[in-house]
Amino acid sequence: MAIYALVNEPLTTEVAVPEDVGGEEPSSITTPEKSGAEWGIALLVFAGSCLYLRLFYNYTALFGDEGILLEGGQRILGGQVLYRDFFSLVTPGSYYWMALLFRIFGNSILVARGTLLVYGGLFSVLAYLISRRVCHRGVALLGAYVTTIACLPYWFVAVHNWDSTLLAFLALYCGVRALESRHSGWAAATGSFAALTGLFEQSKGAGLVVGMALGLALIAWSRNRDRLNRRGLAALLVGFAWPIAVTFIYFGNQHSLRQMITDWLWPLSHYSVVNRACYGDSGLTISALRALLAGSWLNKLSMFFVVGPYFLVPALPILAIGFLGFWVGRLRPNRQTPDVATYYVFVSATLAGLLLSTLATGRPDFAHLMFEAPLFLLVLTWGLNQRHLSSRFLHTTRPLVLAYIIASFTAFSMILLWPALSADHILRTRRGVLKTRAADAALDELDARVQEGQTIFVYPDQPLYYYLSGTRNPTKYEFLFPGMYTREQFEGAFRDVEFARTPVVLFETTFIGRVPQAVSGTPIEVLAEKDPGADFILPRYRPCSALSAEPQKAAFVFMVRKGLGCAGPF
């Protein structure tokens, strides 16, 4: 009830933007940056978010994708150049950002995790400041609350998706400020963050640019031209151009420009072709839902709340398109609230662009929607707010909807929090001390038998082992999926393993059985073929020990090159 009362409090601290040129009515948009009290609230939101996310700081489920970025940063620290010396299917920003963090703060997974704490705080603050412009304070705080407990905790791993989402959020915030203030500095910042978003993840950056361009075009079409002047557009373009120019100059000097462009385009004909998913796919099948909803009425009621975000989050980007259509007709300059309409059109168009980019990649599943959920949750606050969009039906149903959303996201967050709180195994690695729910036999074996800096080959897809064990990957690829990578890429990787006389291989024997779940679009003919990795490894390496795994986790075999003993150390 206390939360409900806060959300429904009267709006008492409106700070109006000055009248528009032409003597129009003052807009009813709020500018929280002009209030010291609002800055104090934003600071508390940041601190509270960081403190909550601290509970996830050193917990790991050893999710392999986290190792891609960490191992890439480690390679760059060792003098390698991305694209020239190792492969990546995304743009370079996250790799060099991680290498910089390692250089400044030390080469540890906890440095990357500490960065996520800051990201979480910024997500919540940006969610508050952007939604506060059109929402009551309580609703804006609710948006920050949901952002904190549901977004990063769902996937608390250091991956490029979170880097690019933060940059996209900063670009959106600066764009909103630029339209409000007509200041070229905010326009330049908007362009810079938009370009950086693309340099951290090309698909998200493209969607962001398309969405923002659509919003600006609609604003110009509505004859609100006083919001878009030549100086601001020039600053926007200059801000957008310089990060891209610096990137092309750097990789040109490293003689890897052509390979960089090839790698950027590689997902279009490989990754996105086989790694496809349905919109909002959460992995919850009908049978799984029935199992969750089985049992007592109390269990069914609790599951009704827990699974709510699986349906609510995918609905938000679609609702953003509805908001865009609703407010486009209210952009006309003779309306009494042009600033409000401009805000909604620009932000909702940006969100529509991000949705478009997610659909274009072929991976609009729930996990990838959650990577952009800090922005999509803005729509949730708009729907709960009665300030600019109200009706008798919405007024009547709002208390029930509000109660369900609070209860549902809170229950969802408890499911995410429990594994981190219950993890009681201390995992001491060469890259930091972590908590897990059980020991990891493969890491223990590497720590006991393989020296730091040694070359090993982990096949097919656990790059986190390279990083946490401090070992080196002899190939250009952090993982190799049949059907996704070409035969030539497999053969090139195997040649690198052979050339390096790699002494140790960790071979996952359960991989082929996991392919349909790991890479959902893998053609059936690929699954019917022999594993190319097995054809290479088995004639050259002999098994030393089978490493037990928890149910539904990969099972590895520790293998050494024929002619070597199993005892080590290697």
- Summarised one tens digit per residue, pLDDT across range 520-554 is 566 666 665 678 888 899 999 999 998 865 545 67
User: Do 375 and 448 fall within a single domain?
Assistant: no
Q: Are residues 546 and 405 in the same domain?
A: no
Q: Is residue 425 part of a domain?
A: no
State whether 449 and 528 are in the same domain. Answer: yes
Per the model's pLDDT, the better-predicted residue between 67 and 25 turns out to be: 67
Domain count, the chain: 2
- 335 and 450 part of one domain: no
322/558 Cα distance (integer angstroms):
54
Contact between 162 and 116 under an 8 Å Cβ cutoff? The reply is yes
Residues 271 and 324 reside in one and the same domain:
yes
Q: Which of 356, 390, 420 is the last residue of a domain?
A: 420
pTM: 0.91
Q: What confidence tens digit (pLDDT) does each residue in 167-204 have?
A: 999 999 999 999 988 889 999 999 999 999 999 999 99
Q: Is the same domain home to 203 and 319?
A: yes
As a whole number of angstroms, the distance between CA 436 and CA 425 comes to 5
Q: Among candidates 120, 118, 128, which has minimal Cα distance to 39?
A: 128
The last residue of a domain, from among 420, 451, 475 = 420
Give the three-class secondary structure for 296: coil
Least confident of 269-283, 290-304, 419-433: 290-304
Same-domain pairing of 88 and 209? yes
Alpha-helical segments (H) within 182-229: 184-200, 202-221
Whole-angstrom distance, CA of residue 381 vs CA of residue 41: 17
Say how far apart CA 452 and CA 446 lie, in whole Å.
Answer: 9
Let me know if residue 36 belongs to a domain. Answer: yes
* Residue 94 falls inside a structural domain: yes
> Are residues 16 and 26 in contact, defined by beta-carbon separation less than 8 angstroms?
yes
Within 10 A of 225 (CB to CB), how many other CB atoms are there? 11
For residue 290, what are the domain limits?
2-420
User: Is the model more confident about 329 or about 125?
Assistant: 125
Residue 570 included in any domain: no
Does 568 fall in a domain? no
Q: Is 398 among the domain residues?
A: yes
Work out the pLDDT band at 323, boundaries 50, 70, 90. Answer: very high
Residue 336 pLDDT > 60? no
In a domain, 330, yes or no: yes
End-of-domain residue from the set 357, 386, 420: 420
> Considering the chain, what percentage of its residues have pLDDT values greater than 90?
66
Kindly state whether residues 271 and 321 are assigned to the same domain: yes
* Calpha distance 150→413 (Å, rounded): 6
Instruction: Compute CA distances 436 → 60, 283, 324, whole Å.
Output: 6, 23, 44
pLDDT level of residue 163 (50, 70, 90 thresholds): very high
Residues 261 and 275: their CA atoms lie apart, in Å, by 21
Question: Between the CA of residue 144 and those of 40, 49, 118, 374, what are the distances in Å?
Answer: 14, 9, 14, 9
Of the candidate ranges 164-178, 240-254, 357-371, 477-491, the one whose mean pLDDT is the lowest: 477-491
For residue 505, list its beta bridge partners.
457, 559
